[in-house]
Structure 1
Amino acid sequence: MMEYKFKDIVSNCCERIDPSESDSIPYVGLEHISADTFNIQTYGKSTDVKGQKFIMKKGDVLFGRRRAYQRKVAIAPFDGIFSAHGMIFRPKQVIDESLLPFFIRSDAFMNKAISLSVGSLSPTLNWGAIKDITFSIPSKEIQPELSSLLWKIEDDIERLKEQIQSLDILVKSRFIEMFGNLDINDKQWKMSTIGESAKVPLHYGSTASAVDYDSET
């Protein structure tokens, strides 16, 4: 492990553009980033936003510096613009491009980022607060092997989430096939208590029984 200041690990890319001065291009805001995946699922257009934004390039690591405790990290899937409430990181020579997203999402980075955020309602992290913080980085020789392992785990997790989502859709569709599209507000449904619908043994439904049972233990 080697120690480097954060400014020697990444470049903080802060080239700005006014969306009103450009054609319609993809826009990624913090609302488009999820804490549990590097993938961008949805995005907007530059014509829908106002104020200066950052210019991002495909492959850049996007980080939500506003409310950093939400742990929002993503990889830019295309060239476009990014929220000014975020930061755009590009790797320097000391860290492999494929390892950088995992480093930014790691507890080692996130815990320091969160602790250095300022503000009460919307705590925000500034580049000046972290650029000189020291982090330990694996040697360049083992980084490709390490990133390969981490990406395999990441891919397995994404595949599992897709399977769970597919199973959820299947279960819902089978339920509708069996029982129809039920609406609990439909007047044909009658509300009733458990006692009206099933027999409950006294020793489960009686407060006295529960007290007696507790006293024995």
Structure 2
Amino acid sequence: MSTVKARLGDIAPARPLRKTSLDPEKIVWHLNLDQVKAQSGEILEKERGPAKEAGSSTHLFDCQHVLYSKLRPYLNKVVLPDELGVATTELVPMLPDPERIDRRYLAHYLRSRRFVDWISQQVAGAKMPRVSMKVFWEHEIPLPRLDEQKRIATILDKSDALRRKRQQAIELTDQLLRSMFLELFGDPVTNPKGWPVRELGSVAQCQLGKMLSQKSKSGQNPRKYLRNANVRWGTFDLSEVLQMDFSESERAKFSLRDGDLLVCEGGEVGRCSIWRNELKECYFQKALHRVRVQSPLTPEYLQEYFYWMSKLGGFSKSVSQVTFSHLTSEKLKRLPVPIPSPGLLAQFSEIFIKIDSQKQKLNKHSDDLKYFSDSLSSQFFQIR
């Protein structure tokens, strides 16, 4: 027996609440896309204010709705609101028919990997890709019985809850290391503990990666390389590693070894992580700097130094009078780095490595849970 299907436009049309029914002085939740965490729908921080302060490009929603982001659908921002609020019109206020579809079931369906991959192809616009809403509303969603929908949603809710707990544990390990850094060494921008200061170029080897060109992308010696998108704070995203040509001399110049720090030149300037030979043979392109420290400096200390320099505005204060968008080789080498005592640096690195080992285990568990959740979702939802 085939599963019943229904058009999204029929069972969960865009139907915001009427703003005229709302007291303009009432303090309500003001929701924009920046508050929504990608790939989860979690709210990073709620902003509140009088309803009258909402702009014209907003609509009213409540806990009956499912809010779907039509902008950059690959970011997978689907919100289940838990209270009254006003939202940007980039979040479509879908109002599910409670007699035909469970709200949580709909949200899980819209977040499923298969649906996200499919809808990401149904977009218009290069710089700001938006979902083709005509295609979106015509899409047919599988509709098992309502009690079966609730059962599926409950299973996927539990899977998501486990993943969130793992992610919270990972975030706590990061917070522990960062607070420990400040306690031991102080603010690296103001250097309140008076550590001697050296320019980074005098205590580390700094190398910018290979320039990407059309010729290098079609060469005869393809090798894996890292780019800005692969580097996160304290970790690497290796889900998509590209290849380009590296000659023998370039492989020697742009190679990576255990303990190298890879630092982003642009984007989130200074974002970095320590390479631990995650891939057998890998190189790096121009969007990244490779930093190899010299004793007594350690990559563990330097990674946290870069984090706090980024968060405290230290890059622009230290090497430029204005905020800059790129950390050039010259600016990187001129960075003033406080150099604590060798014993304290070694102590911090030892603690860092132990905590990071636990973090990697948590990351592995989180990845396993994501794979399990995606597998469950694929079984429940067949996207065609």
Query: What interval of TM-score do these two structures reach, taking the shorter chain for normalisation?
Result: 0.7 to 0.9
Count of residue pairs brought into register by the alignment: 197
Contact 2:4 2:143 in 1 (8 A): yes
Contact 1:9 1:95 in 2 (8 A): yes
Q: Partners in 2 of 1:9 and 1:153 — Cα distance?
A: 26
Q: Partners in 2 of 1:174 and 1:122 — Cα distance?
A: 40
Instruction: Indicate which of 177, 184, 198 corresponds to 1:190.
Output: 198
Residue 31 of structure 2 aligns with which residue? 28
Residue 370 of structure 2 aligns with which residue? none
Residue 94 of structure 2 aligns with which residue? 89
Aligned letter for 2:35?
A: H
- 1:47 is displaced (CA, Å) by 4.9
Matches within 5 A, 1:146-185: 146-183=152-189
Contact 1:17 1:53 in 2 (8 A): no
Normalising by the residue count of structure 1, what TM-score does the alignment of the two structures yield?
Answer: 0.74
Structure 1: gaps of 5 or more residues: 199-217
Q: Partners in 2 of 1:83 and 1:94 — Cα distance?
A: 27
Residue 10 of structure 1 aligns with which residue? 12
RMSD of Structure 2 on Structure 1 (CA)? 3.0
Larger radius of gyration: 1
Q: Partners in 1 of 2:198 and 2:72 — Cα distance?
A: 46
- What is the DSSP-based 3-state SS (H/G/I as helix, E as strand, rest coil) of the residue aligned with 1:168? helix
> Using a 3 Å threshold, how does the CA distance of structure 1 residues 36 and 69 change in structure 2: closer, same or farther?
closer
Structure 2: gaps of 5 or more residues: 206-293, 298-384
Q: Deviations over 1:82-120 (max 9, x none)?
A: 111220122223322221210111134323432222223
Q: Partners in 1 of 2:143 and 2:118 — Cα distance?
A: 15
Residue 204 of structure 1 aligns with which residue? none
Q: Partners in 2 of 1:49 and 1:72 — Cα distance?
A: 21
Answer 1 or 2: higher relative contact order, Cα 8 Å, separation at least 6.
Answer: 1
Q: Partners in 2 of 1:70 and 1:46 — Cα distance?
A: 28
- What is the DSSP-based 3-state SS (H/G/I as helix, E as strand, rest coil) of the residue aligned with 2:123? coil
1:56 is the counterpart of 2:61? yes
Q: Partners in 1 of 2:295 and 2:190 — Cα distance?
A: 18
1:70 is the counterpart of 2:75? yes
Aligned letter for 1:33?
A: V
